[in-house]
Chain A
């Protein structure tokens, strides 16, 4: 195998696949990426046996072939090189990395040892969607998730396709976010609806690697899902289990509804966060005859503070405590000037954040229990 490749291309490719490589004590080859020289392009693959990322980068192939390179070593080596043109050549069990004034030999593993990347069975049916649009949708629901050993069934995103709409849902049982994309926003070759669970790790990798431009295609079969663009592919297992039926917990009635400036509220929360105690609790209530939101936090060790934020509130409501980070997360991903808040004062009833104008996205969160 022998190729000439531009440093920036190679670096970008390595960056894309790097995190798929796994720490697997049983199988050392998983710490390696498979580098394959094809006609006019170079293919890089890494996997942890749950998901695999394949990235195509342009380069000049002089002699075809493939080799496994250690991801960590190779990535820091390429990252620190100064020259633009890099020659890669396989020599025996080693890979020679060569520029005008630098030369290195890294250990490799035989290419046959690399896992075979599975394929999805159904390649006819797929969804096609603008990459940037999907990236934003992912960001909006991923924000409501976190890894939990307690509830493994929540360590995934729900992708719910119902012919005329595509829904993404994420929850960590304290908050839940749902994003709906309408039929105009994607193309579908499917004739049947489906619901699948994307593992969180896969969704995070996807989010990291997605760019704003270009089209993304989504394929799936019984237990795998494939995300594909011109430049890369991510194939992953699907999560098993049942996503909770969440429709009944989405609140429909609220104690009070308010419209506030998003950035101002975020700023208020950041300030209040400084004084919140270990539970990250900030308290919110209507003030000044329902013309302002009062954001209050106190901690015995630090002190207390109070922030008055002008808002359009439709009725008075009493104090509700939230984890300010959870509330902040919901605001952070709504890229709007104003947000609509539906507050539920009662304990054990969630509150809701969405756009004042439409409901394609909502984020619900539970209060902190009163003691």
Chain B
């Protein structure tokens, strides 16, 4: 019998002896943490509980434990920290809204000179087939800053590790050259706001100096500067100044340069000049590796079938994968027992659905129609023109993928047989995995959906 079971049994006997109020107050959050040489160590949430139990229940508890384990000689009570209260999603949202405009102090340990978060390193980046190239290029850049792959452009979907990789390059460079080379990391949003600030305060020179005075410039989520002419122009000049001086430039985006519609041609061609690497969806083995790695770091365990379940349910976003993993671990810790498959399934479903709950089938049709510059009736209509085939199949795919609608229902919706729907779904699914530009299209449609729903 392990300590946990032993303690559960002890607690159920104590529960009978005590009033409900006393049990809930004093014993509910207790735990049997260790036994050594007949001494049983019991963890309690606070000193009040410790005093009370030591004085009032010690004998009873020892008696009960002895019934199960005759080696028990003595009890020791220790006070351990309590978990912070978990918050509901709603509370958090309310709080965030309130703080919209007020800037916060930077209390996370971010290096103020480089803006890099030391948490991201190349070592902790898990490599698989989907990000091999990007990772290899990143390692090469650290050793040959500015000369080998310049600029380095990296793209991939949300939550696949772009930020991790580019920040890791910065951190590695900082450590490898021991401060001789100065990396600088900015989000494109920060870059934009700096440009705005400089214009407003007529301090363009300061701004230019600030960005041209570094050896490695890392810009995250470059797609957001598209369409902001002055920022683009300023970035263009900064880019040229750095490039001419053989300074390394590293850029990330959620899509390849050709697919950022608002980006000016001259910038696009420059991005294409260096190395472009993509990070695509992690395959199953890699997802499992990521989960195992996280478990190891936090020194916790999960049964294999739960790992398998998580890896199989969340395929397209590592951040989401980690989020769900954290929830499961949190739940397991709260409960104190190993999580079973059914509960894990519930947690996964809850966390993946809450985000999609507000999207309707009509919105998907509309988004697809908009993307292909056509009208919803054309999608549903009988036309067998070639131009309508792809949009229609994409619509079927998304209805199935996002809303989990049944094939017959989708068929009915689009005036097709359910076998046609199955065929379309499978075809698109294959395309996504082997055809990267096509995958970009799907991502863009999905994004337009999610953005509308925020």
Contact = CB atoms under 8 A, between A and B. Distances in A.
A174 B107 contact: no
A175 B102 CA distance: 10
A245 B105 contact: no
Nearest to B108: A244
Contacts of B22: 27
Contact of B48 (A116, A154, A245, A279): A116
B82 A240 contact: yes
Contact of B104 (A152, A174, A222, A281): A174
Interface in B11-41: 20-22, 24-25
B161 to A, nearest CB: 26
A289 to B, nearest CB: 17
Interface stretch (B50-58, B268-276, B417-425): B50-58
Contact of B101 (A28, A154, A281): A281
Given A26-B21, A27-B22, A49-B48, A150 B105 contact: no
Contacts of B109: 245, 248
B197 interface: yes
Contacts of A346: 197
A204 B99 CA distance: 24
A174 B47 contact: no
Interface string B87-128: 100011001100111111111110010000000000000000
Given A26-B21, A116-B55, A366 B103 contact: yes
A369 interface: yes
A224 B81 CA distance: 11
B389 interface: no
B193 A366 contact: no
A83 to B, nearest CB: 37
Contacts of A368: 101-103
Contacts of B196: 370
B85 interface: yes
Interface in A133-185: 148-150, 152-154, 171, 173-176
B84 A279 contact: no
A175 B197 contact: no
Contacts of A150: 87, 92, 95-96
Interface in A168-208: 171, 173-176
A149 B48 CA distance: 24
Nearest to A52: B48
Contacts of B100: 279
B435 to A, nearest CB: 41
B79 interface: yes
B48 A171 contact: no
A176 B105 contact: yes
A371 B61 CA distance: 62
B106 A249 contact: yes
Nearest to A244: B107
Nearest to B22: A27
Given A26-B25, A240-B82, A47 B105 contact: no
B46 interface: yes
Interface string A340-370: 0000011110100000000000001011111
A116 B21 contact: no
B201 interface: yes
Contact of B102 (A222, A244, A366): A366
A171 B51 CA distance: 33
Interface string B167-210: 00000000000000000000000000100110011000000000
From B100, B107, B112, name the one whose CB has the most chain A CB atoms within 10 angstroms: B107
Nearest to A154: B107
Nearest to A243: B107
B107 to A, nearest CB: 4
A174 B105 contact: yes
Contacts of B92: 149-150
A115 B105 CA distance: 40
Contact of A224 (B47, B84, B108, B201): B47
Given A115-B52, A240-B82, A345-B201, A371 B101 contact: yes
Contacts of A116: 48, 51-52, 55
A223 interface: yes
Interface string B43-83: 00011111110010000000000000000000000010110
A326 to B, nearest CB: 8
B50 to A, nearest CB: 7
A364 B105 contact: yes
A172 to B, nearest CB: 9
A24 B84 contact: no
Nearest to B104: A173
A347 B105 contact: no
A182 to B, nearest CB: 26
A370 B24 CA distance: 50
Contacts of A118: 47-48, 50-51
Contacts of A237: 46-47
A277 to B, nearest CB: 10
Nearest to B23: A26
A152 B84 contact: yes
Contacts of B107: 154, 171, 173, 244, 246, 249
Given A27-B22, A249-B106, A152 B82 contact: no
Nearest to A365: B105
A336 interface: no
A303 interface: no
Given A150-B95, A171-B107, A370-B193, A27 B25 contact: yes
A195 to B, nearest CB: 16
Nearest to A238: B81
B25 A49 contact: yes
B103 A248 contact: no
Nearest to A148: B95
Nearest to A120: B47
Given A49-B25, A49-B48, A115-B51, A347 B197 contact: yes
Closest 5 CB pairs of A and B: A240-B81, A118-B47, A244-B107, A152-B84, A366-B103
19 contacts: A115-B52, A117-B51, A118-B50, A149-B91, A149-B92, A153-B84, A171-B107, A173-B107, A174-B104, A249-B105, A279-B100, A281-B101, A346-B197, A347-B197, A366-B102, A366-B104, A366-B105, A369-B102, A371-B101
